[in-house]
């Protein structure tokens, strides 16, 4: 459900290129071509067939609870069975509210009733088949009916409320209007509610994904005037999955919270609207002109509002009954190690037709499954068990994957080797994010997948992209460093860290299993039809990825990675990448503390010298900012020692594997595979992150104030960002202990391989 | 004529805060309060009287050649005489074309005729008195009548043409439409012409100074829909002043170039238009969607155009006769050193009513002149001669000041001590740019002028501004460094370098005299009425600077600086500031060479590896960029040696002056003053800058590809930027020699002061 990778984001880490800590460790192996098996697999993927499946699956709106979503699950089940998989549907019963009525209007100074509808687009037949489509709605908002003054809050992030406070504008008792972007959708009403707002409107500004970005659909991929973005606003940063069953599967008889007690459900009504509707509200606003960073590109002067003269009325009513969801689970048992599971998933529910999100990834998964089925029919068998997963209800809050992972947690923590995720994809460049022990194998596989547009490998094209971005005159330091790495063929290109926004979350962040998310993007779409009625088969096949060539490349990359794990002799992991990456995170966190300490010191002086008052334009005066807490010096030594050891242990492991791989017994190989899982799990001790213990991974989490975007070394980093000094101290120790345990596992593996080299915890 | 300092620019060096090289040398003296004379002077400045002068002078349009401009010159002359000054009008005859007819229309695919008119604004009476106003017009464009396809070229700068070339779009034989901003107006048609365009339209995008920036006038200071920006498009970067008499005064019988031979006059027709008119042209454009940086904020998707389907027709006809201009020159002879001139100027011609530009500065100059006249009547006399100058014809191309400076060049190079300039001003923060030997005295004076809004000194408010900007999370390194300097009261805050855009140019850059430009801004206006019919008395007194409080503060600052130079015992200059600043420039230039060398190397590899082709979206393909020339290593040693010596010489001078000031004879003091002029003149040897020898100053020039913005150490810097390696080598030597001559003068001054300490050229 994360927004597609767009060109407007190509200078950011969302490319799947994270901070560049991994350049020194594992050097790229001399290009090992694909195996015979991988070559055969590739030959079995048929884009025309994928297009057919997409057409069927997007023939009608397929949101959770819709007839077509259920039909799609049944179809997928049937296909898996046809292809020889052992498949079934696993059902959960989840809280999933559905809309009964929605109203949004401006009541003063003039009256305007928001249309809240997406009209059909001539030339796109799918947009005429919207009888079963969800209206303008966001899941898990809080039903209500309020009329109140309106305030524009920019992206509705923490810093926007800080700015509002300095402007002397309170949102207490008011309705806020926020634009989509910067942070995750759900944080906007959450922060509004925390600041006392009684309602929240979220609109798509044309500057971000409308006419400013590109020609509107159907000419281009930008948002048409009346398009709006549906989505979920449950507090994913606390936990994803069913709001009533945190930590356990939402089975028929599961213990459930009362709705009113679920901490992830909002209390205020929220509606998403188009910029065509929003302009009427924004143009009416009075009060101060917005700060420069708050400007959108509607042809108006944006004002903050907040006075009583402009009033809005928002009313939302929902059906809060439990609904069934349908996960399709398909397996091919491993011959040598049936209890080692290679998992591969993509969701099948959309917000409307969902051609790009999720069907472009769903049909890739189906193509892989069919090809694997054919290989099996031809006599091949995987050494380890393949588990293919077609999730339901990802959109509302990763429900299908989370409930399944929670339900099978114990088994997965014993058997799961890797979880490989995809979601929407489109034309462009590879984006790979995941556990950094997987960085090298992802580079290897990317070197063997041909880019449909250029004929070079998707790795070579990615390298070219990083070089071009990083040598742009406006490139930041990270981009410049990435360009240097990309230009050096002896170095692997770094993968990004995973935050949230798709079905890997429970596997990586709750269970601590290795996980990866793969996608293509940055050419096919600026994201203007995302979660709207315009993400149709016509849109996808004419604009986002004609011929499904990148959807096919995604099947090739994800499927090859699954096969590699299912069939390899020794684990594909390399740990030098991880060690260097973590060393980089630690440097960032230390620098963060220093930077914030300097900022707090400087600000204290400025508050004392009245500097903020002195720069004030008396016609537009602002209060001083809230005083930053003085930042102490932290004892980072435990982490520094743990990272030093990790580097040694990782180096020893990688070296031992390189030396000894060919000489190991089947039993040792099997044990090594099991140890990759155990090693990764050390990063997710039961203690969890401060204040949100569902998230257990101490290396990767969605940011509690950014949403989808990853925070690395999150417990320590966010403690510093959020001025929780005790948590910082405590989690330095906890994170260091986890890294020591990680090194212990690596050392044990080195012993297993029969080399004497070990390192010791200090 | 430079655009007012606006809030949108507050993160840039246009604040008058240049690169921060000057923090270590001269530390701020313990606050020396104003002298008795300065206190009396201040008491004589009357904002109400200034308001009255402004009302009279802005009562009608007062562009060059208008009856009211002449009347204003006569009025200023009369006032000077009334106040006891020896005053006269000096007349030059200059080429100044005036419009006969202008047409702009879209002829295909639909017909639209641009209005080219600025309607009156209810509530602003001045806007109803526009019978004598200039229409939409830019001076020194090339008359013509063409119909051709239209191409959008963003800001029309060099990098925009590079981007167009990669997009495969040529402007040859076409009409370009460029938006105002980034570089100086005149570069847009110049570059268009160089690339083969046959016409040029310049419009004001609402993103830059229209509704996006603020409420439009009359509610705020942003550009109303039909407002447009007049101006000059002669090639100021080659030389300013009369296009027909470069280097000499445009007297009645001066030798003149033929119009066709003047290299600064354009050959293609150009018109400025409003965004209301521009939207019709831009919305019609087809072809590729523009790159992200090219987006304005009209409610359209911007396209590059260039196909034959969209055609525009532009026709301009002008009267190219010579016209008289009227400089008012007023003097009060010095008692002790009548041949040492302290010059102070501001122009009196506007583009329409010109309330902010230039009258807000003009009435400051008048207030100073009246106060000085009163002081003289009360018995005070300056030691050195005060020369007050009310220039005509600054707007078309700095004509009044340049012709006067050229006409009196020999005398000025013998007598000129300093030229103090002002121009438009408005509410806000001090901006000071000039010769860095003046940095310390400007800090001293700024510490003695009270900010009207806060009651602290304008220096204290400036410090607060730098601290707030530099501690903003988005601040760049320069801003962060400036904040640290500003927070340290023992350090002077750096002044900026002068480029062009007002009347200091001939003094500083042609004659090599010390010069400074002072202004206030960043609160009063976003610049939306600049050079339009809406820069009226009503606008200025209601929005830009009610009560003329900052206009008054400008009179206090500029007048005090003039008095300080006219009356001081020893020169106010301090040279450590200059030495440190130049050391910083040298570091920048060396870094520039390294950065460009790395970029060229990297780009060569990328061209070889086909990286640019590989990142291409086949639906929107671009060619590779032009290959950068490999950058050799330069011998910077002569400059490094010169800078090392300069630091020592400057330190010795500052120390000697501090020790010996009180003990010097009147003759030595007089000689020291003369030496400050001679010292500065060493920076402007006759050789001039490569390809534009009118500009002689080797430290400060307007950028040949940026216009108003300064290039420091320009001959060397631009040679590297523009890949002229021979010029780089040659001008390293020439610039080093100039700095050695500068040090020679300082050493000579040290000897004069009777201390033995000298330094020697290596």
Segment B54-70, tens digit of pLDDT: 999 999 999 999 999 99
Residue from B564, B524, B504, B177 nearest B356 by CA: B524
Q: Where are the domains of chain B?
A: 7-95+323-568, 98-319, 576-752
CB contact under 8 A, A468 and B599: no
Mean pLDDT by 10 residues, chain A (762 residues): 58 37 41 85 98 98 98 98 98 98 97 97 96 96 98 97 96 98 96 98 97 96 97 97 98 97 97 98 96 96 95 98 98 98 98 98 98 98 98 98 98 98 98 98 97 97 97 91 94 96 98 98 94 98 98 98 97 97 98 96 95 91 93 98 98 96 95 97 98 98 93 98 97 98 98 68 45
- Per residue in A493-535, pLDDT tens? 999 999 999 999 999 999 999 999 999 999 989 999 999 999 9
As its CATH architecture, domain B98-319 has: 3-Layer(bba) Sandwich (3.50)
- Report yes or no: A466 and A485 within 8 Å, Cβ to Cβ: yes
d(CA A518, CA A557): 8
Q: Which CATH superfamily is domain B576-752 in?
A: Transferrin receptor-like, dimerisation domain (1.20.930.40)
Chain A closest-CA separation from residue B755 CA (Å): 42
Residue A543's closest chain B neighbor by CA?
B619
**pLDDT given for residue B743 in this prediction:** 98
Neighbours of A632 (CB within 10 A): 11
> Please, where are the H alpha helices in A14-135?
36-43, 47-57, 67-82
Q: Cis before residue A200, ω within 30 degrees of 0? A: no
Q: Is B206 on the interface with A (CB under 8 A)?
A: yes
Find out whether A292 and B8 touch, Cβ atoms under 8 Å: yes
Residues from chain A that touch B546, judged by Cβ atoms under 8 A, are: none
Strands B199-203, B707-712: pairing kind: unpaired
**Token pair recorded at residue B496:** 């900026």
Which two structure tokens, joined as six digits, stand for A187? 């944080």
Whether B603 has its CB under 8 Å from any CB of chain A: the answer is yes
Q: Has residue B26 got a pLDDT over 90?
A: no
User: Do B301 and A225 touch, CB atoms closer than 8 A?
Assistant: no
The secondary structure of residue B255, as a DSSP letter, is -
The confidence score (pLDDT) of residue A758 equals 47
Contacts of A43 (CB under 8 A, 6+ apart): none
Tell me what percent of the residues of chain B surpass a pLDDT of 70: 95
pLDDT at B757 over 70: no
**Does the CB of B602 have a partner CB in chain A at under 8 Å?**
yes
Superfamily of domain B7-95+323-568: Zn peptidases (3.40.630.10)
Instruction: Quote the CA–CA distance of B177 and B186 in Å, as a whole number.
Output: 13
Determine the average pLDDT of the residues in B219-236: 97
Chain-centre distance for alpha carbon B183:
12
pLDDT tier at B754 (50, 70, 90 boundaries)? confident
Tokens standing for residue A534: 């315009």
Q: How many CB atoms lie within 10 A of CB B756?
A: 8
CA angle A752, A756, A758 (to 5 degrees): 85
State the DSSP H helix or E strand holding residue A732, giving kind and residue range, or none if neither: helix A725-752
CA–CA distance, A178 with A272 (Å, rounded to integer): 10
A299:B301 CB<8 A = no
CATH T-level topology, domain A7-95+343-568: Aminopeptidase (3.40.630)
From A322, A221, A127, select the one nearest B619 (Cα to Cα). Answer: A221
DSSP letters spanning B584-624:
HHHHHHHHHHHHHHHHHHHHHHHHHTTHHHHT--GGG--PP
Question: Does the pLDDT at position B484 exceed 70?
Answer: yes
- The pair of three-digit structure tokens given for residue A104, joined into one six-digit string: 């949004």
3-state secondary structure of B251: coil
According to the model, what pLDDT value does residue A708 have?
A: 87
B295–A297 C-beta distance less than 8 A: yes
Specify whether the CB–CB gap between B437 and B680 falls below 8 A: yes
B610 touching A, CB under 8 A? yes
Please, what's the b/e burial string for A490-523 (b: 16 or more CB within 10 A of its CB; e: otherwise)? ebbbbbbbbbbbbbbbbbbbbbbbbbbbbbbbbb
Q: Which residues of B484-510 are buried (b: 16+ CB within 10 A; e: fewer)?
A: bbbbeeebbbbbbbbbbbbbbbbbbbb
Contact yes or no for B465 and A615 at CB 8 A: yes
- Could you give the CA distance from residue A572 to residue A569 in angstroms, rounded to a whole number? 9
Put simply, the answer to whether B617 touches A212 (Cβ < 8 Å) is: no
Copy the structure tokens of residue A560: 């090859």
A44, two tokens? 């079995």
Question: Mind giving me the DSSP string for B704-730?
Answer: TTTEEEEEESHHHHHHHHTT-HHHHHH
B185: contact with A, CB 8 A cutoff: no
Strands A98-108 and A311-319: antiparallel
| Residue A133: per-residue pLDDT | 97
d(CA A341, CA A325): 23
What does the alpha-carbon distance between residue B736 and residue B582 come to, in Å, rounded to a whole number?
A: 11
- Residue B473's pLDDT band (boundaries 50, 70, 90)? confident
If you average pLDDT over every residue of chain A, what do you get? Answer: 94
Rounded distance between C-alpha atoms, residue B754 and residue B618, angstroms:
75
Kindly report the backbone phi and psi dihedral angles of residue A383, in degrees, each rounded to the nearest multiple of 5, phi listed first: -65, -40
B105: confidence class by pLDDT, cuts 50, 70, 90:
very high
Take residue B583 and report the two structure tokens written for it. Answer: 């050391």
Q: Tokens 């809060």 belong to which residue?
A: A320
Tokens 């010109």 -> residue? B354
Q: Closest Cα partner for A620 from B524, B462, B497?
A: B524
DSSP A693: T
A455 to chain B, any CB pair closer than 8 A? The answer is no
The DSSP element (H or E) to which A337 belongs, if any, is: strand A337-347
| Contact across the interface for B471 and A207, Cβ inside 8 Å | no
Q: State the burial class of residue A488 (Cβ atoms within 10 Å of its Cβ: 0-12, 13-18, 19+).
A: middle
Is the separation of the CB atoms in B752 and B679 below 8 Å? no
Q: Decide if B592 touches A, using CB distance below 8 A.
A: no
**Rounded Cα–Cα distance for residues A164 and A293 (Å):** 13
Which two tokens mark A162? 């800080």
For residue B19, which of B587, B639, B595, B581 has the smallest C-alpha distance?
Answer: B581
pLDDT for residue B6:
59
Nearest chain B residue to A625 by CA distance is B468
Nearest to B338 by CA among B670, B676, B679: B670
**Reduced 3-state DSSP string for A667-681:** HHHHHHHHHHHHHHH
If residue B199 lies in a helix (H) or strand (E), which one and from where to where? Answer: strand B199-203
> Of the candidates A4, A5, A28, A49, which has an alpha carbon nearest to the alpha carbon of residue A446?
A28
What is the rounded end-to-end Cα distance, in angstroms, of chain B?
43
Which pLDDT value is given to residue B755? 64
Give the closest of A206, A465, A602 to B487, CB-based.
A602
| Residue B50: both structure tokens together | 């200034």
pLDDT tens for each residue of A387-446: 999 999 999 999 999 999 999 999 999 999 999 999 999 999 999 999 999 999 999 999
- A225 to chain B, minimum CA–CA distance in Å? 11
- Contacts A526 to B, Cβ<8 Å: none
Q: Which two tokens stand for residue B21?
A: 């090289």
Q: What is the 3-state secondary structure (H, E, C) of B480-492?
A: HHHHHHHCCCCEC
C-beta of residue A64 within 8 angstroms of C-beta of residue A325 = yes
Whole-number Å distance between alpha carbons of A115 and A99: 16
pLDDT at position A640 is 98
Rounded to an integer, the average pLDDT of B282-287 is 97
- CA quadruple B604, B605, B606, B607: dihedral sign: positive
| Contact state of A467 with B611 under an 8 Å Cβ cutoff | yes
CB contacts < 8 A, A to B, total: 125
Closest C-alpha among B335, B362, B461 to residue B421: B362
- The DSSP letter of residue A405 is H
The residue in chain A having the minimum alpha-carbon distance to the alpha carbon of residue B297 is A297
- Whether residue B459 has pLDDT greater than 60: yes
pLDDT digits (tens, 9 = 90+) for B292-328: 999 999 999 999 998 999 999 999 999 999 999 999 9
pTM of the predicted model as reported, rounded to 2 decimal places: 0.94
Dist. CA B213–CA A478, nearest whole Å: 31
Question: In 3-state terms, what secondary structure has residue B29?
Answer: coil
Q: Assess whether pLDDT exceeds 50 at residue B388.
A: yes
Whether B618 and A453 lie within 8 Å, measured CB to CB: yes
pLDDT digits (tens, 9 = 90+) for B195-204: 999 999 999 9
Judge residue B402's burial from the number of C-beta atoms within 10 Å of its C-beta, 0-12 exposed, 13-18 middle, 19 or more buried. Answer: buried
List the single residue in B with minimal CA-CA distance to A484: B602
pLDDT at residue B174 greater than cutoff 70: yes
Gap between the Cα atoms of A530 and B740, Å rounded: 65
């Amino acid at each position: 459900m994360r927004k597609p990778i767009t060109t407007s984001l190509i200078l950011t880490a969302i490319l799947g290129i994270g901070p560049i800590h991994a350049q020194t460790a594992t050097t790229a192996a001399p290009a090992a071509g694909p195996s015979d098996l991988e070559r055969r697999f590739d030959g079995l993927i048929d884009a025309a067939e994928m297009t057919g499946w997409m057409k069927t699956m997007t023939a009608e709106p397929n949101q959770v609870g819709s007839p077509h979503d259920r039909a799609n699950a049944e179809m997928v089940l049937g296909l898996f069975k046809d292809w020889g998989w052992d498949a079934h549907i696993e059902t959960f019963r989840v809280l999933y509210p559905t809309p009964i009525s929605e109203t949004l209007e401006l009541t003063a100074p003039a009256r305007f009733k928001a249309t809240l509808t997406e009209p059909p687009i001539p030339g796109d037949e799918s947009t005429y088949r919207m009888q079963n489509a969800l209206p303008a709605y966001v899941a898990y908002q809080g039903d209500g009916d309020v009329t109140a003054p309106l305030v524009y809050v920019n992206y509705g992030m923490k810093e926007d409320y800080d700015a509002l406070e300095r402007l002397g504008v309170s949102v207490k008792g008011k309705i806020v209007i926020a634009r989509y972007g910067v942070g995750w959708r759900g944080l906007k009403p959450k922060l509004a509610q925390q600041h006392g707002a009684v309602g929240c409107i979220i609109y798509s500004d044309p500057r971000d994904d409308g006419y400013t970005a590109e020609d509107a659909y159907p000419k281009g991929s930008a948002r048409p005037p009346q398009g709006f973005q549906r989505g979920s606003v449950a507090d994913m940063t606390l936990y994803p999955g069913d709001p009533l069953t945190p930590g356990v599967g939402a089975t028929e008889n599961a213990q459930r919270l009362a709705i009113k007690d679920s901490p992830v459900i909002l209390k205020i009504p929220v509606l998403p609207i188009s910029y065509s509707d929003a302009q009427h509200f924004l143009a009416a606003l009075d009060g101060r002109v917005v700060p420069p960073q708050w400007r959108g590109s509607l042809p108006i002067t944006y004002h903050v509002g907040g006075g009583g003269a402009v009033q809005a009325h928002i009313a939302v009513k929902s059906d809060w009954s439990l609904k069934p969801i349908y996960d399709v689970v398909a397996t091919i048992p491993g011959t040598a190690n049936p209890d080692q599971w290679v998992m591969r998933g993509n969701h099948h529910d959309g917000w409307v037709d969902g051609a790009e999100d999720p069907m472009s990834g769903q049909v890739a998964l189906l193509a892989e499954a069919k090809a694997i089925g054919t290989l099996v029919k031809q006599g091949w068998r995987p050494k380890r068990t393949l588990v293919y997963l077609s999730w339901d209800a990802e959109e509302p809050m990763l429900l299908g994957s989370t409930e399944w992972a929670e339900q099978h947690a114990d088994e997965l923590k014993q058997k799961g080797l890797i979880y490989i995720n995809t979601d929407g994809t489109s034309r462009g460049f590879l984006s790979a994010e995941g556990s950094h022990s997987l960085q090298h194998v992802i580079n290897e596989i990317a070197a063997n997948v041909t880019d449909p547009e250029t004929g070079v490998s998707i790795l070579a094209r990615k390298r070219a992209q990083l070089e071009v971005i990083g040598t742009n005159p406006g490139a930041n330091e990270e981009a410049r460093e990435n360009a240097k790495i990309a230009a050096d063929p002896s170095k692997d290109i770094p993968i990004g860290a995973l935050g949230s926004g798709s079905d890997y979350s429970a596997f990586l962040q709750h269970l601590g299993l290795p996980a990866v998310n793969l996608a293509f993007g940055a050419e096919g779409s600026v994201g203007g039809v995302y979660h709207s009625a315009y993400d149709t088969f016509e849109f996808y096949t004419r604009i986002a990825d004609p011929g499904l060539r990148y959807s096919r490349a995604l099947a090739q990359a994800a499927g090859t990675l699954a096969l590699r794990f299912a069939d390899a002799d020794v684990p594909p992991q390399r740990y030098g990448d991880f060690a260097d990456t973590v060393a980089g995170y630690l440097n960032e966190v230390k620098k963060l503390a220093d930077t914030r300490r300097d900022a707090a010191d400087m600000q204290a002086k400025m508050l004392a010298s009245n500097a903020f008052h002195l720069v004030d334009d008396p016609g537009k005066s602002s209060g001083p900012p809230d005083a930053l807490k003085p930042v102490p010096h932290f004892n980072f030594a435990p982490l520094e020692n743990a990272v030093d050891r990790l580097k040694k242990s990782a180096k020893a492991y990688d070296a031992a594997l390189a030396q000894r791989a060919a000489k190991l017994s089947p039993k040792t190989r099997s044990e090594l595979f099991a140890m990759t899982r155990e090693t990764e799990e050390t990063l997710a001790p039961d203690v969890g992150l401060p204040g949100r213990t569902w998230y257990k991974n101490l290396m990767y989490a969605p940011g509690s104030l950014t949403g989808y975007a990853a925070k690395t070394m999150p417990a320590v980093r966010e403690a510093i960002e959020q001025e929780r000094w005790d948590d910082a101290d405590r989690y330095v120790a906890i994170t260091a202990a986890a890294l020591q345990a990680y090194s212990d596992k690596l050392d044990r593996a080195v012993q297993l391989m029969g080399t004497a080299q070990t390192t010791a915890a200090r």
